Structures are given as structure tokens and as C-alpha cells.
Structure 1
Amino acid sequence: MKSEHRPATAPVNGALGGPFGRPLDQVVTAEQMRGIEGHLFDAGMPVAALMEKVAGRITAWLVKQFPCQGYPRIAIVAGPGHNGGDALVVARELATQGYEVQVCSPADRLKPLTADHLGFVEYLGIPVVKSMAALAPCDLLIDGLFGFGLERPIERAIADVVAAINEIDCPVVSIDLPSGLHTDTGAVLGTAVRATHTLCLGLWKRAFCQDRALTYLGRADLIDFDIPSQAIAAELAAGPPVRRATLATVRDKLPLPRQPDTYKYRVGHLLLVAGSRPYAGAALLAALGARASGVGMLTLAVPESLRLMVLAQMPEALVVGCPETDSGAIAHLPEELDLSRYDAIACGPGLSRQAMPAVQSVLDSAAPLLLDADGLNLLAELGSVDTLSGRDAPTVITPHQGEFKRLFPDQLAASDDAGAAALAAAQQSSALVLLKGACTAVAHPYGPLWYVPESTPALARGGSGDVLTGLIGGLLAQTQSDAADHPLDLALNAALVGAWWHGQAARRAAADRTELGVDAIQLTQYLNPVLAQMVA
């Protein structure tokens, strides 16, 4: 096991901006990154100059996060390509700053520029060995075997190098990607380095947004090297943008500040249709999420047998008791419940499979709608997601992988990328699709795909999804009053803010209480402190 190391200062993970006004939250494929670099080289940027610049930025990060006093001995594993060249320049620069540097160069054939840098490293007297076994003990290891674009499995002697890296008992920093990961899918190509830190170069690669890659990436940081915005635009203009959610982007989408003269009905009225006798807690957890969203008014439609219990816990809400089945599910929504009066409806947590009439009623409504949990299961029983395409108001669906497979059985099978599957599902259904996972994907049917990769295993608890439903539902109700924007764009804002906010609250709770100590109630209690931190 590698030693855990957390940098002394929190990194900036891809905020909007940069010296040339480009979006540093952009996510690219290997093919797109090759195209962007090609534009730079065609425009006259020498490969050697770019390598020096990138390596200088990497070195500055390493010196700040791993000072020489604490990590004097550094081993660098350099591969045959330009990722290895970056690593060799880093080796040279660290040696000039007083570190004891040694290099392992296991490949027999190197690219010419990389071979030149290796020769200069040897000229400087930095020890160079061919095998990991010949390395002296180190305090930090830099993985520069392979960067983005690897497509063939790592085998034989190089696989042995990766295995040896994974046995090292010190922090491991990978340059661009942990060697052995597929750039787009995050899949392991034979074997892969398990890094404690990964420095993604230039723009975020798609692998950083894939659940399967998280075990290998460790803590991820973006190393910006000033790619001109026109080079990015030239390569990415053809397709919908793919972005990684950050504090800067999410903060801009919050329904804040409010107008000084506002009142409760101007800041959203949410109808939450939830709960059944066997799953009473789901309605309450969703309501607590809605409360934290700041929605002006909340109405809960629950089975009549739950009404007094919910009212006792949510005294500020309007609680409507619904006729119920013998099993305690909502039999149907009361006729006097006018669905047209609500700014948004959230439906699904704890409904059970006996609540089909209630789900059909909200599907037929003209209000913006969020469907989750049994709302999605009952939608799947209807046999087609085409019913969502016929709705005049925007629809948000928030499935986990099991629910997604029931709704869109062909999409995940057709793609190794959850984001690509979510985007295809959004285009098929004309709904906004939030596919939950360790890296949540939020897909707009006619626009961008967003990833929310900052999560925590602490969310692997029953009820955390119910909290998310209420939180996004409350945000959805608050964002429908701005007629200047397309309703689906506003729904995207609500889903993106809710997913990021929910994940950050869980991370903060896990930091205080450990990953084992964050139940759904505890999660709701961290939502408002995290919001205050977001807007500070």
C-alpha cells in the first residue's frame, strides 16, 4: 500500500478562465487532444518548447506540494514517448533544486526528443537505471511511462515495471494519466499504475470522469499550460461541449442573489409526490432536501396514513393526504390537487410500484417534472420513454445505473462511457438525464454534457438519493421564473447545482465523520454549511 499524502494546500481543480479566457473545465477525448496539440504545432509551437513549458509547470507543482525537506529522494520512471520526455525534463529541473533524483528508463527505443533529454540527464550525472529493482529507496515516485492516447495493453517487461511501481511505499504522481489507463473510458489496458496523485495536462481527459478510473487516479489536478482558445475552438466546435463541474461554474448557476422585494411564491412552489407506508422515510428525506434548497413553498402529497407524521417533521410544508391502496401506496392524487399551480413537481421516492396513477398524473401535467426512484421504475413499466418527448414542460430524470438499464436497455451496452450513454438517452427521450454514480453525468438533449466527478463513497447509503431528489426539485421550482432562458437550460442548471452541492456536502460530512458516519439525515445537515462556503 502506498502512503497517503494530502497536499498542504487545496488545489484548484479547473476553474473557468485562464490567461486566454478559455474554459479550463473542458473535457476532451484523446483524439480531440491530439487535434488541439496538432493545431499548436502547425501554428509554429516547437514540440521541445511545449515540453519545457509543461515540465516547468509540473515541477512547480511538485516543489510546492512535496518540498525537498520532506521528500528529498525522488525516483522518476520515464517511458519511450513524449510523456517520458516530460518526466525527464522534470528530473533535470528537480535536480537543480536540490532533490536527489534517479531515473528508471526501461524502454529500449525512445522517441528522438526523449532520447535527447535522457542523454542530457546522464550528462548531468543523474543516475539512470534500466530496471525498477536497481532503484534506490525513494520518498516520491513520478510515473512518466505513458500519457494520453495509449490504446494497446501493457504487457511483459513494462507490465513488470507497473507492478513494481504499485509496490512502492511512497506517494506516486502520474503525469497526465496513470500509465495503463484508456484516455476516454478509463479502462485498464492490461495493467495500470495506482497513483496517489495525477496531474492532467492542458485539458481534462475523459478518463477523469469515469467511475472505473477513480481507483487509479488518486487526487487529480489540472496543470494548465496556456492552450490558446482558438486551438480549442478549432477542434471542439463541431460537437456539444463536455464539461467538468467546478465551484466557479456551479456558483454562477445558483438562484442567488434574490430580489430584495421577493416573497415565497416568487421563489418557487414545489410539489413533492412521495412515500408509501413501507417507505415512509423516503418522503421525509426528500422533503428535507427540498427544505435545504431554499424553495419558497413546499407541498407534499403522501398517503393519508403518513400525513400527520410528515407534518410533525415538516411544519412549514403543506401536507396533502392522498387516498391509498391496501398496501399503503398512493392510489391516486386527490382531484382537488391542481397540478398547474406548481412551479415544479418531484415524484418518486418511496412511492412503491402500486402508485402508477399518481405517476401518470404528473406525466400528464404541464409543470416541470423530476422523476426518480419508483417514478422511474413505473415509467419503465409503461414500456417507453417516448412519453417524455411529448411533454411540453422540461423533464429531469435521475436514475442510478440499475434504473437507467431498465429505461434505456441498449445505451450502456453500446458505450463504455456513462456520459455518452446519458447523452444518447437524453437525445432519445428529450429529457434531461442525470445518471448517478461516483462520477455523475448530467446530459442535456440538445446541448452540453456535464460531469460531476467530486463525490465520496459516503453517499453509498440508503436515502441519499431521496435527499438529492428534493434538493434538485426545490432548485427546479426556483429557476422556472426566468423567461429569458430556455426551460431545459434552467432544468440543467438545477440538476447540475444539485448534484454538485449534494456531493460536496457528502465530502464535507465524510471529512468530519468518516465515510462510515454519513447517513441521509447527517447529509441534509451539511447542505446549508456547504452552501454558505460556496457563496462566501
Structure 2
Amino acid sequence: MSRSMIQTVCVTAAQMQEIETLLFDAGFPVAALMEKVAGRIGDYWLQRWDRSQQVGVLVGPGHNGGDALVVARELHLHGYDVGIYGPFERSKPLTADHGRYCRSLGIPWYRTWDELASSLGQANCQNSLLLDGLFGFGLDRPLVGDIATTVERINQSKIPVVSIDLPSGIHTDSGAVLGTAIRADTTLCLGLWKRACLQEAAQPYLGQVNLIDFDIPWANIVAVLGQPPPVQRLTPGRALQGLPLKRSPVAHKYTVGQLLIIAGSRQYVGAALLAGHGAVASGVGMVTLVVPESIRSLVVAQLPGALVMGAEETEGGAIATLPPDLSLDRYNAVACGPGLAQVDWLPQVLATTAPLLLDADGLNGITARQLKNRPGITVITPHPGEFRRLFPDLTGGHDGALGAAQATGAIVVLKGSKVAVAVGEHLWLNPDSTPALARGGSGDVLTGLMGGLMAQAAAQQNSEGLEPMTTAVTDAVLGAVWWHAQAGLYGHQRRTVLGVDPLELARCLDPALADYLAG
């Protein structure tokens, strides 16, 4: 087992407790684990922050506080100026032991936040750091009273915070804020990724997130989660499996995928164009767009490499009927929805046996029952509002995406700041994103990119038959989600968070991938 596989695993609080119990039952002492974890955190600290930084250590009553105390001890022994804030009268025995030893070393111990803040010199926040060890994973009660007030004051202090495992006050599974929570600049997640690290609710509190691996045996992980684990973090290695980076030297445009996009209306011309640009960037062999006749010439001018078919349209400029000579099943994949407006011919699209991607108005005109009865593979890409309309009885979020995938048989791509992809009983969570993607049209680019990769995957599967079609399409979907996020990050780095308009996003797709592969 490669240690890189650890990067894929996401756990709930209960699952992490089970895995740690297996360690302890096998004879690995709790005290030894605390020393090992704290040693890894100390190593991380020594590599990043020099001894000129004053360190304030926030200590809770549990083993998260014990971890913090061991780190405090080691930093003190390495010459850092360390002060401890420990407001709790009682703590777990091991934590109490470490606290007693820290006192014996002469490390200052403060009972109030004001005392610690004064010792750090709040006026010079750049020369101070806080290590948050108040509460770790498994917290399920809101922070209230004095500790809640203190957390708010810590957040107001502007002193950078490094949180152990999770910022204090964050629910391990949902990422919800329990009353109030530390706003960390860095979170050092211990052992395995906690689900909160990939939940939208927790993002404003996590800062930069890093995994501190402490060598959990893979057998223990499999014993609790199964093989493969049902919930996984989408890594670049996994995502790249879905990108057709190797081609036959005798490939031609009809062997590397034919994609049909049905999109656009007189009001939403841009949606069709952006989907087309995303598809072209995917490398698919042939892109065919069906758009209202009145915008056909405009689309041809912007996408000269695509075949553009004009369709009869309504008075409002939407597609009234699909072209009579259009054979949906001849394409390797079909993408339908961006900018369509309301149409009544969607059952005709649902009847195709080709892999079908539905987005935007392609979702607004159907029901969950229709998805279940589809003859081919279906991919849906709803944002939370569209998801609620399609699945009013589901809760949304990660569990809702899984429920929708199981109820319909579709691959569900739930969009948001952290995209979740549900396939059957399995869930992939993409850790990479940027608020630069919070622009109208970003999703249209994703539709085209994903459709293009699906068409290429289906074409390869049809010619080689090396894996089931569902597996090939799933790989393409995961690859598209990751690639789309990388393009957003690439554009963000070069043009700021404000500069990644959807056309720029499409233009960034290929250089972003090339940059990643070169690096």
C-alpha cells in the first residue's frame, strides 16, 4: 500500500474513533500516539516558522489539548518563546500529566485570554502565532459561555492560528459551526481527512489544510471502511485516470469521440458558446451543437471547428423541436441544458442510449423518476437549488448526493465550493476550488468539458472494451471536475480572483493541465 492512498480517505468522527480503537487494542499506547502526532506537528512547525515567532498554545481538556501540550513542550525545548492558555480546571489524565510537566519546565501558563494576549503583544500580530488545541474531532456540542466569548476574541485578535485536526467549534462530519468556531489560517488534519475538511460550511474556518500522516496501517482503515473506502478525496492521480492523455498514433477525429451539445436560446447565446469552448478544450474529435436557428451564424463565427445545426425555434427564441435528421444515438455522448429555457422535447433526449449529461435547463424540465427509467448512463450536474427541486425529499449535501445516485442510478455531480461526485454507494470529494469560479457561465464550461471527456471515454470503451462503460464515464466525470477546478486556480493565480470570467476559464483549461503535468 502506497502512503499516497492515505490522501484519498475521508472519515467521520465515528469511523476515526473505530480506527484509533483498533490501534489501541493492538497494543499501541495512547501516550505513544500522542507523542508521535505531536512530533509530526512539531516537525511541520520547525520547517515553516522560525524561533523569532512567539507561540501561544490554546489547550482544551481532552487529548487534542494533550497534543497541543506536547507540541508546546517541544517548541519550548527548541528555543521558541511559548505561553500556554489553559482555562479548564479539569482535563483527561494524560493531558493533565503533560500540563504538569510543561509547568515544571517553566513554560508560562495563563488562565485568561487577556493574560496570554498581553504576553504575545497583540500590537505585533506578525510576530505571534497561536496553536489551537482547544477541541479536536468528535465535538458535538455548541461552544457557549466564557469559552465561546474567548473564541470570538481570538478571532478578533488577528493573530494567525494553526488548528490541530480541526478548528475548535467545527463539527467533524457536517463542517457546521457549533455556536462559534476558531477561524484558522492553517489546519493540520491528523491521520486521515475528516469529512468537515471537504464540507462547504467549514471552508471559511479552515484556512490552508494539510494532512499530518501518522502511519495508520492500511489494514485498520479497510477493516472499518472497506475496500475501496466509500468516501474518497479526489486526488490528482485519480483524476488523471479520466483524461485521455495517450492516443493511438493513427487516431483521427472520428475515433476520439463525437459529442453532441444541445444548448442555447436567443436570450442565452453565451451558454451554448461556453459549453462549446469547454468541449473544444477537452480534445474531443468532433463537436456538434444544436442551437436555435437565429443564433446559428453567431455560434459558427465563435466556434469554427464545430458543426453547428440550427433548430426551429419558438417565438421566445428557444429550441422548439430538434432537427428531424438528428440521430442522438450516433454520438458517443450527449450534453443537454445550458441556456435552453423551458422546452417540451426533453423526453426525446432522455430516450437516447448514449451517455447523457444533463445540466441547467436540462434538469429543470425533468423529474427524478424520468432519470431512473433512462436506457443509458446519465450524469447530472445540479447546483444546490436544482438539486432541491429534483429531490425535495433528500437533505442535500454529501448524503443527499449519495441518496440521489442510489435512487436514480445516475452519476450525480453536486456543484458548490467543494464539488461532490456520487456514483452508486461511492462518493468522491474534490478538495480543490477557488471563489474565482463564482461567475455565471463557469458551469457551462464544465458541461462542455465533461461532455467532451465522456465522449472520448465512450469512444475508447466502444473500440477496446477494456472496462465497463459506467467505469469509463465515471473516470471522465472525475477528470472533468478536477481539471475544471485546476483551470480556475490557474486563472486565479495569474489574473486575481476577479479576473477569471468564463471565457478566460475555458482558455485556461489546456495551459493549466500542461502546467500541472510539467510540474
What TM-score do you get using the length of structure 1 for normalisation?
0.92
Distance (whole Å) between structure 2 residues aligned to residue 81 and residue 274 of structure 1: 56
Range with greater deviation from structure 2 (324-333 or 247-256): 247-256
1:440 maps to which residue? 419
The residue identity in structure 2 corresponding to 1:493 is D
Q: How many corresponding residue pairs?
A: 506
- Which residue matches 1:32? 15
Counterpart CA distance in 2 for 1:173 and 1:68 is 16
Asked if 1:284 is matched to 2:273, the reply is yes
Among residues 245, 248, 266, which one is paired with 2:255 in the alignment? Answer: 266
Task: Please state if 1:374 is matched with 2:361.
Answer: yes
CA distance in 1, matches of 2:212, 2:150: 25
> Residues 123-134 of structure 1: matches in 2 within 5 Å?
123-134=104-115
Gaps of 5+ in 1: 1-15
Aligned to 1:63: 46
Aligned in 2, Cα 1:488/1:76: closer, same or farther, shift over 3 Å? same
1:513 aligns with 2:495: yes
- The answer as to whether partners of 2:264 and 2:340 remain within 8 angstroms in 1 is yes
User: Is 1:423 matched up with 2:402?
Assistant: yes
Identity of aligned residues (%): 55
Residue 380 (structure 2) pairs with residue 397 (structure 1): yes
Q: Post-superposition shift, 1:399?
A: 0.4
Matched residue type, 2:456 = Q
CA distance in 2, matches of 1:510, 1:51: 39
Alignment match of 1:256 (pick from 245, 266, 276): 245
Does the Cα contact within 8 Å between 1:240 and 1:449 map onto a contact in 2? no
Matching residue's letter, 1:455: S
> Can you list the C-alpha shifts for 1:34-83, whole angstroms capped at 9, x where unaligned?
000000000010001111111111111112122224xx210000111000
SS of 2:8's partner is coil
Note the C-alpha offset of 1:254: 1.7
Query: Shift of the alpha carbon at 1:168?
Result: 2.4
CA contact (8 A) 1:286 1:469 kept: yes
Name the counterpart of 1:459. Answer: 437
- Equivalents in 2 of 1:452, 1:56: separation in Å? 29
Deviations 1:291-336 (A, max 9, x none): 1111111011111111111111111111111111111111111121
Indicate if the aligned counterparts of 1:303 and 1:324 stay in contact, CA closer than 8 A: yes
Distance 1:25 1:224 in 2: 12
Structure 1 counterpart SS, 2:254: helix
Range that drifts further, 388-397 or 245-254: 245-254
Counterpart amino acid of residue 472 in structure 2:
L
Change (3 A) 1:238 1:533: closer
Match for 1:356 among 344, 351, 359? 344
Q: Is the 8 A contact 2:9 2:229 kept in 1?
A: no
d(CA) in 2 for partners of 1:35, 1:342: 48
Letter aligned with residue 199 of structure 2 = Q
In structure 2, how many angstroms separate the alpha carbons of the residues matched to 1:133 and 1:292? 56
- In structure 1, the residue matched to 2:448 is 470
Instruction: Please tell me whether residue 202 in structure 1 is matched to residue 202 in structure 2.
Output: no
State the secondary structure of the residue aligned to 2:84: strand
Amino acid at match of 1:497: G
Per-residue CA distance 1:377-423 (angstroms, 9 max, x = gap): 011xxxx31222222321000000111111001112xx6xx111101
One-letter code of the match for 1:116?
D
Task: Name the structure 2 match of 1:215.
Answer: 204
Partner residue of 1:151?
A: 140
Does the CA-based 8 Å contact 1:241-1:449 persist in structure 2?
Answer: yes
Deviation at 1:170, TM superposition (A): 2.2
> 2:241 & 2:39 partners in 1: Cα distance?
32
Instruction: State yes or no: 1:388 paired with 2:371.
Output: yes
Supply the distance in 1 between the matched residues of 2:323 and 2:62 (Cα, whole angstroms): 68
Counterpart in 2 of 1:532? 514
Tell me the residue number matched to 2:485: 503
Cα offset for 1:24? 2.0
Question: Unpaired segments of 5 or more residues in structure 2?
Answer: 121-126
Please state whether the residue corresponding to 2:445 is helix, strand or coil.
helix
Return the offset for 1:161: 2.5
Q: TM-score, normalised by structure 2?
A: 0.95
Counterpart residue identity of residue 31, structure 2: A
- Structure 1, 479-488 or 300-309: larger mean CA deviation: 479-488
Task: Within 5 Å, give how 1:282-361 maps onto structure 2.
Answer: 282-353=271-342, 355-357=343-345, 359-361=346-348
Indicate the SS of the match to 2:260. strand
**Bigger shift: 155-164 or 185-194?**
155-164
Secondary structure of the structure 2 residue equivalent to 1:191: coil
Alpha-carbon distance between aligned partners in 1 of 2:6 and 2:61, rounded to the nearest angstrom: 31
Greater mean deviation of Cα atoms: 75-84 or 330-339? 330-339
**Equivalent position of 2:123 in the other structure:** none
